[in-house]
Chain A
Amino acid sequence: MRDRVPRRARRNPRSVPPGPSPRRFRAATLIRRCTSPEARTPHLRRSSLLFCAIAAAYAIGSQLSASWFGADGQTASFFPAAGVTLAALILLPRARWPVVIAAAFFAEVTVDLINGIALVPSLGYGVANTVQPLVAAALLARLRPALDIGRTRDLAAFLVAGVGLGPLVGGILGASTFVVLDGGDRFARFAGEWWIGDGLGVLVVGGAILGFRSAAAGTVTRRRLAETAGLVLVAGLATAGVFWLGVIGLAYVTLMALLASGFRGGTRGAALAGAAVAFISAQAVASGHGYLDVLGVSPADGLLYVQLAIAVFLATALAVAAEVAERERSAGERRAAERFRVMADHAPAMLWVTDRNGRCTYLSRGWSDFTGQREDRGLGDGWLEVVDPRDAERVRMTHEWATDSREPFTLDYRLRRADGEYRRVIDAGRPLHGPDGDWAGFIGSVIDVHERSEAEDALRTSDARFKALFESIDEGYCLAEIILDGDGTPVDYRFLEANHLFGAMTGLHDAVGRRVRDLVPDLEDHWVQTYARVALDGQTMRFENGSDAMGRWFDVFATPVEPHGRFALVFKDVTQRRLAEIGLRESELEQRRARRRAELLTEVIGELEAVDGVAGRAGRLAELLVPRVADAATITLAGPDPEVLARAPGPASAPEPHSRALAALETGDRHETLLELALTDPERRPYTDADRAFFADLAARAGLLIASARVHEEEHRVALALQRALLPTVVQVDPAVDVAARYAPAAGTLEVGGDWYDTFRLPDGRLGLAVGDVVGHGLESAATMGRMRTALAALAPHSDGPGDLLSRLQQFTDGPSGTGFATACYAVLDPATGVLQHASAGHPPCLVVAPDGATRWLEDGRSVPLCPLGRPGRPQATTVLESGALLIMFTDGLVERRGESLAMGMDRLEAVARELRDAPVEDVCDAVLAEMVGGRHRADDVVLVCIRFVPVPAAAFRLDFPAVPEELRHVRTAARSWLSARGVQEPHRTRLLVGLGEACSNAVLHGHRDGNGLVHLEVADDGGRFSALVSDGGTWRTPRADDAGGGYGLRVMRGLGDEVIVSSGEDGTTVRFKMAVPAPTA
């Protein structure tokens, strides 16, 4: 018995009867697992759903087969699951194949295991059932990509590879598994049964699935649907009749119904009917209702025959369906081709078609009409004969290239007209695709552009317009029918067909089946009336017209087509060309005049902006207008005492003018400023209204520029005065430094910048050095500059260093307009040591030139420019100035030059400063300014501060300091440093300091009792003989009795010094102190 048990039966032994409940349970589990939230990404979710669907379908198909054939030991089981797998593989992209294969494998193995087959053979059957569809699908994908069983060639491929070859491979693998792993025998029989059962499964189920998506299925009408349903019913009933009633004759009815469904229902109908027949007969045979005993064959053989017969019937029906569909299609194509030919022959354009080899296979009548060449002569390569020989080679090459690359192309060349004249044409080719989607050659159109070429030569220079022209030669096409109202009056039209360019050109999408009035409610009526004449009166029309409702221009060719009331349109969007033409049609003279005026206006504005001052601008305006628009021009400030601001061509008396024009300059002055133009040359055309309108415009614009010059002049005067007043006069703040500064306003402009500098001594004896630049010009920036300078000097003693000071300073940058923005550089120099702390907020770095000529930029300690919202915590850096080093601080105007990078300007400054390093700072300032910005049009203000650190000071030491005790230590620091520099050594240096200190101390304590005022200290070194002078505004304090141990001061001075003179007067007290110091021992 074992050898009689077929493989499907083995999967479903009798001991485990099939039941719906476990199946359903399994499927539910499967689906739950697959749709769990673990499927996070959409991709994963799609894959999971696909897996579930295919596994479920496969399991149902497989279990169906098992339930039919497993129970009573029939052979050659109809196996629908095979069709599921193959159809899925064909329909899905290759990337999804692993999911399909996994699903099928999983379902097969699961069903096998459920049906009591051991694990190893189950895996074997799983492999066989997945390799089988894989082989078939891979083969089909290679043979017929985009398989459509509605096409005969594709159907044949499907039958050979899908129905024949695939299941054969599966059968061999399955039988091997059966014999080797599952302990079975009769390899050939098992393989054959597998082959037929699976082949039928593929044919019925796969065919049905593929049939439903066939393009040949066509549009489904209700009638077709009813017809198909009827035929499927008849086929099914007849089949049932054969088996249950035993009326074998009914098999013919089944056959006829199958074929008829192929005819009428297409691929879908045939596939449906076939499926019905196959499932019913399988069910019948499985349930023992056979006619097999009638025929006298064994049940197993009988089933084989039945299934073979069904397969053949079904294949035939499908073939019929495919053949019918193909014929319908080719008839449709023929009709379309014919319509195209009619259209093409009537269209004004010359159309052509080439085949895959690039040979011309069609030329429209337009070609023959134009060139005089008969179509049959032009076919192949003959058309090249009428191409200008100068262009022929290029044209031929382009066509060859296009045929190789299958790319669209556009050509322009000269084409011989029937009268022998060569005309310029544009030839555009587009790839042509056959009904199967394969490339079939090119279709193209030739347009005579000679007429337009003159105008378009201008357009051609503009690439964009040239492209627009080319794009306009693709033609739109549509078929429409006129709609009449109850009275027979045309009121609308409906689109029946449209090509892909229709939407692009008209902007009307999905137009087919809709009325134009739905699509363009406010469409002009003349379109409907025009097309009604075409459609109803049989006129063919060619016209160019615009639709405001659509905002486009069209070149339209309209022709009536059958049946009555329909018309076809071939048209192109010529909006671009039309616009270009309208522009070109403008009178040449008008254009030239307009251009001249525009140029004059531009020139006037440009020229006036380059000149400063009211008088300058007025004068320039008059010069510009003569002789171009006038022989004489006068600009007058009206009022009780008229003042001539400018006159051209000068004061020379001119002949009496024959035409005048007067225009007001809007200068904003109390009195009107008038521009008077006059023509004296009798040859010149008198002024027209258009001229006067232009002069009014010109005068208004020029007036604004003159007005702004007036405002600027005023503002400039004030701002410059303010700026000068705000900048300090440099004082020698410390004997250890020489300081010189320059402020140079921008040359040749009325603007005043916000550049500033300041130098001051801090209470600790160090020196504050600052330069800055307030962005902007004029009064506001000058005011901001003043505020910043004051703030900096006020905050400097209370800050922790340059970085901190700049952080505090940013709040002062906010000008009245609230858009303050400034750069600044601040440095603190210790005159005793040369230690320089510095910080820069967006300001160009300072330059240090060492005495040996080495230069360095102080690039560290930099931060963003100052603005009100800037952050605190700006960095600072420290460097030490060598004795004799030159420190140069400046604003960007010094190193900025048009057409030169900042780096180049800084390089120049570096070179100039290196050369000048030994010169006095005043000379350095002058020379640097001259070298850097001298003799040039300075675009910006320049501030330059040069500081030389000189710890070897001049023979004199001068210092003015506030009369407070805390100042004394700083005075000593400065004096000590000076004395050291003079070479005074200990203990003489301290002795001298004590002597000076006593004098200063007394001046502080008693010279200024109110605590404010300055003490003046002056020390001179005359070859080691030091003489000091300390003066204050008070009287010398004489020793008092109650001062215990008092009077030491004067005693100390007298004891240390060689001479002490105290002179007290109304203006204060002066102490002279002399002391000789022995020459330093070398």
Chain B
Amino acid sequence: MTDSLASIRAALDRDGDLTLAITGEIDVSNAEAVQRECVKHMEDARRTTLDLGDVRYIDSAGLRVVVALWQHAHAAGGTLHVAAPGDGFVAELLAITGLGEQLLGPERAG
């Protein structure tokens, strides 16, 4: 995806493990587009890792996108977890909103 604000890199391996790495910013102006783009990549994925480690800005509109993607993955019988540095603001936001336990990956959940 090439939005002036955010860009998404997708990597799918043979086992159906998908990594979606989002860089840039997600706000209300591009949330829908980001969500649409990610859903497209997740079609063949069983396990999805959403890497938000390089996101520069994300707000509640972005968090709604993450929740929507989690729901999408589970509805399709897959899994999704978010990868973000434990001391970063993304992790903090997930914690504030109570989404952390549900979304963060096992390796970072602690």
Contacts and interface: CB of A to CB of B under 8 A. Distances in A.
B interface, how many residues as a size bin? 20 to 34
Interface stretch (B7-15, B44-52, B54-62, B75-83): B54-62
A1001 B96 contact: no
A965 B27 contact: yes
A972 B30 CA distance: 14
A1048 B63 CA distance: 8
Contacts of B61: 1001
Interface string A1000-1030: 0100110000000000000000000000000
B1 interface: no
A1049 interface: yes
A582 interface: no
B60 A1052 contact: yes
B56 A1004 contact: no
Interface string B1-41: 00001000000000000000000010111000000000000
30 contacts: A965-B27, A965-B28, A968-B28, A969-B5, A969-B25, A969-B29, A987-B87, A987-B88, A987-B89, A987-B92, A991-B89, A998-B59, A998-B60, A1001-B27, A1001-B28, A1044-B64, A1044-B67, A1044-B68, A1045-B63, A1045-B64, A1045-B99, A1048-B60, A1048-B63, A1048-B64, A1049-B60, A1051-B60, A1051-B97, A1052-B97, A1055-B93, A1055-B95
A997 interface: yes
Contacts of B25: 969, 972
A993 interface: yes
Contacts of B71: 1044
A1046 B95 CA distance: 15
A202 B59 CA distance: 121
A1056 B57 CA distance: 14
A159 interface: no
Contact of B57 (A972, A1004, A1049, A1055): A972
A930 B86 CA distance: 60
B56 A1045 contact: no
Contacts of B28: 965, 968, 1001, 1004-1005
Contacts of B93: 994, 1052, 1055
Nearest to A1054: B96
A1055 B58 contact: no
A969 B62 CA distance: 14
Given A987-B89, A993-B57, A966 B97 contact: no
Interface in A904-918: none
B27 A991 contact: no
A997 B96 contact: no
Contacts of A1004: 28
Contacts of B58: 994
Given A994-B58, A998-B59, A1052-B96, 5 more contacts: A968-B29, A994-B59, A1005-B28, A1052-B93, A1055-B96
A41 to B, nearest CB: 71
A1048 B28 CA distance: 13
A965 B5 CA distance: 12
Nearest to A967: B29
A990 B55 CA distance: 11
Contacts of A1005: 28
Contacts of A1044: 64, 67-68, 71
A1055 B89 contact: no
A966 B28 CA distance: 9
A1046 B61 CA distance: 9
Nearest to A987: B89
Interface in A957-991: 965-966, 968-969, 972, 987, 990-991
A994 B64 CA distance: 15
A1055 B27 contact: no
Contacts of A990: 56-57, 89
A15 to B, nearest CB: 106
Contacts of A966: 29
B74 to A, nearest CB: 13
Interface in A1030-1069: 1044-1046, 1048-1049, 1051-1052, 1055-1056
A1056 B89 CA distance: 10
A832 to B, nearest CB: 14
A991 B29 CA distance: 19
A1049 B29 contact: no
A895 to B, nearest CB: 41
Most chain A CB neighbours (cut-off 10 Å) among B58, B59, B88: B59
A767 to B, nearest CB: 19
Nearest to B63: A1048
Contact of B29 (A965, A993, A1056): A965
A987 B87 CA distance: 9
Contacts of B5: 969
Contacts of B95: 1055
Contacts of B88: 987
Contacts of B60: 998, 1001, 1048-1049, 1051-1052
B30 to A, nearest CB: 8
A966 B63 CA distance: 18
Contacts of B96: 1051-1052, 1055-1056
B97 A991 contact: no
Contacts of A1046: 64
B57 A1001 contact: no
Nearest to B88: A987
Contacts of B67: 1044-1045
Contacts of B68: 1044-1045
B13 to A, nearest CB: 29
B89 A997 contact: no
B109 to A, nearest CB: 19
Interface string A391-423: 000000000000000000000000000000000
B48 to A, nearest CB: 18
Interface string A935-974: 0000000000000000000000000000001101100100
List of 4 A-B pairs having minimum Cβ-Cβ separation, nearest first: A1055-B96, A1048-B60, A965-B29, A1045-B67
Contacts of B87: 987
Interface string A289-317: 00000000000000000000000000000
Nearest to A976: B57
Nearest to A1047: B60
A969 B27 contact: yes
Contacts of A1045: 63-64, 67-68, 99
Contacts of A991: 89, 92
B4 to A, nearest CB: 8
Contacts of A987: 87-89, 92
A556 B89 CA distance: 117
A674 B97 CA distance: 91
A1044 B99 CA distance: 13
Nearest to A1043: B64
A966 B25 CA distance: 12
Contact of A1055 (B29, B56, B97): B97
A554 to B, nearest CB: 94
A1058 B82 CA distance: 27
Contacts of A994: 57-59, 89, 93
Nearest to B59: A997
B59 A1052 contact: yes
Most chain A CB neighbours (cut-off 10 Å) among B60, B89, B96: B60
A991 B91 CA distance: 11
Contacts of B63: 1045, 1048, 1052
A1045 B71 CA distance: 11
Nearest to A971: B27
A1045 B67 CA distance: 7
A1063 B5 CA distance: 31
Contacts of A1049: 59-60
Nearest to A988: B89
A998 B71 CA distance: 23
Interface in B89-110: 89, 92-93, 95-97, 99
Nearest to B91: A987
Nearest to B99: A1045
